[in-house]
Structure 1
Amino acid sequence: MAAHVQIGNETIGLGHPTYVIGEIGINHNGDVGVAKKLIDVAALAGAQAVKFQKRTPAISTPADMKDTRRETPWGEMSYLEYRYRVEFEREQYTEIAAHAARQGVDWFASPWDVPSVGFLESMGVATHKVASASVTDLPLLRELALTGKPIILSTGMSTMEQIDAAVGILGTERLVILHATSTYPLPAEEANLNMIPVLSARYRVPVGYSGHERGLQISIAAVALGACVVERHITLDRAMWGSDQAASLEPHGFMSLVRDIRITNQAMGDGTKRIMAGEHAQMKRLRRPNPVGQA
Structure 2
Amino acid sequence: MKYNKTLIIAEAGVNHNGDINLAKKLIEVASEAGVDFVKFQTFVAENCISKNAKKAEYQLQTTDENQSQLDMVKKLELSKQDHEILIEHCKKFNIKFLSTAFDLESIDLLIKFDIEIFKIPSGELTNLPYLKKIASFNKNIILSTGMATLGEIEKALNILVQNGTQRDKIIILHCNTEYPTPFEDVNLRAMQTLKKAFCLPVGYSDHTLGITIPIAAVAMGACVIEKHFTLDKSMQGPDHQASLEPEELKAMVKAIRELEQAFGDGVKIPSKSESKNKAIARKSLVAKKVIKKGECFSEENLTTKRPGDGICAMKYDKYLGKIASRDYIEDELIDE
Answer with 167-176 or 76-85: which moved more. Answer: 76-85
**Aligned residue number for residue 228 of structure 1:** 223
**Aligned residue number for residue 193 of structure 1:** 188
**Aligned residue number for residue 8 of structure 1:** none
Deviation of 1:199 after TM superposition, in Å, equals 1.4
1:83-113 per-residue CA deviation (whole Å, 9 max, x = no partner) reads 2221011111000000011111111211111
**Aligned residue number for residue 39 of structure 1:** 27
Determine if the alignment matches structure 1 residue 281 to structure 2 residue 276. yes
Deviation of 1:77 after TM superposition, in Å, equals 5.9
Answer with 103-112 or 46-55: which moved more. Answer: 103-112
**Aligned residue number for residue 143 of structure 1:** 133
Deviation of 1:264 after TM superposition, in Å, equals 0.6
Deviation of 1:81 after TM superposition, in Å, equals 3.8
Q: 2:38 is matched by which residue type in structure 1?
A: V
Distance in 2 between the 1:137 and 1:227 partners?
26
Determine if the alignment matches structure 1 residue 128 to structure 2 residue 118. yes
1:120-171 per-residue CA deviation (whole Å, 9 max, x = no partner) reads 1012211111111111111101100011110100011101100001111123
Q: Please give the secondary structure, in 1, of the residue aligned with 2:277.
A: helix
**Aligned residue number for residue 60 of structure 1:** 48
The answer as to whether partners of 2:174 and 2:190 remain within 8 angstroms in 1 is: yes
Distance in 2 between the 1:194 and 1:294 partners?
49
| Distance change in 2, residues 1:138/1:281 (3 Å) | same
Distance in 1 between the 2:67 and 2:47 partners?
18
Distance in 2 between the 1:63 and 1:281 partners?
70
Q: 1:127 is matched by which residue type in structure 2?
A: I
Distance in 1 between the 2:213 and 2:67 partners?
37
Q: 1:109 is matched by which residue type in structure 2?
A: S
Q: Which of 88, 99, 108 is 2:98 aligned to? A: 108
Determine if the alignment matches structure 1 residue 214 to structure 2 residue 204. no
**Structure 2 residues not aligned, in runs of 5+:** 55-59, 162-166, 285-310, 320-336
**Aligned residue number for residue 163 of structure 1:** 153
Q: Please give the secondary structure, in 2, of the residue aligned with 1:176.
A: strand
TM-score by length of 1: 0.89
| Distance change in 2, residues 1:268/1:294 (3 Å) | farther
Deviation of 1:294 after TM superposition, in Å, equals 4.4
Distance in 1 between the 2:103 and 2:131 partners?
10
| Distance change in 2, residues 1:200/1:122 (3 Å) | same
The answer as to whether partners of 2:171 and 2:201 remain within 8 angstroms in 1 is: yes
The answer as to whether partners of 1:71 and 1:77 remain within 8 angstroms in 2 is: no
Q: Please give the secondary structure, in 2, of the residue aligned with 1:271.
A: coil
Deviation of 1:72 after TM superposition, in Å, equals 10
**Aligned residue number for residue 178 of structure 2:** 183
TM-score by length of 2: 0.79
Deviation of 1:292 after TM superposition, in Å, equals 8.0
**Aligned residue number for residue 14 of structure 2:** 26
Q: CA RMSD for the aligned pairs?
A: 2.4
Deviation of 1:79 after TM superposition, in Å, equals 4.2
**Aligned residue number for residue 90 of structure 1:** 80
Q: Which of 258, 262, 272 is 2:257 aligned to? A: 262
Distance in 2 between the 1:72 and 1:210 partners?
21
Distance in 1 between the 2:318 and 2:187 partners?
49
The answer as to whether partners of 1:132 and 1:156 remain within 8 angstroms in 2 is: yes
Answer with 110-119 or 231-240: which moved more. Answer: 110-119
Distance in 2 between the 1:189 and 1:79 partners?
28
**Structure 1 residues not aligned, in runs of 5+:** 6-10
Deviation of 1:71 after TM superposition, in Å, equals 12
Distance in 2 between the 1:29 and 1:206 partners?
33
Q: 2:22 is matched by which residue type in structure 1?
A: V
Deviation of 1:82 after TM superposition, in Å, equals 3.4
Rg larger in 1 or in 2? 2
Q: How much identity, in percent, do the aligned residues show? A: 37
The answer as to whether partners of 2:101 and 2:119 remain within 8 angstroms in 1 is: yes
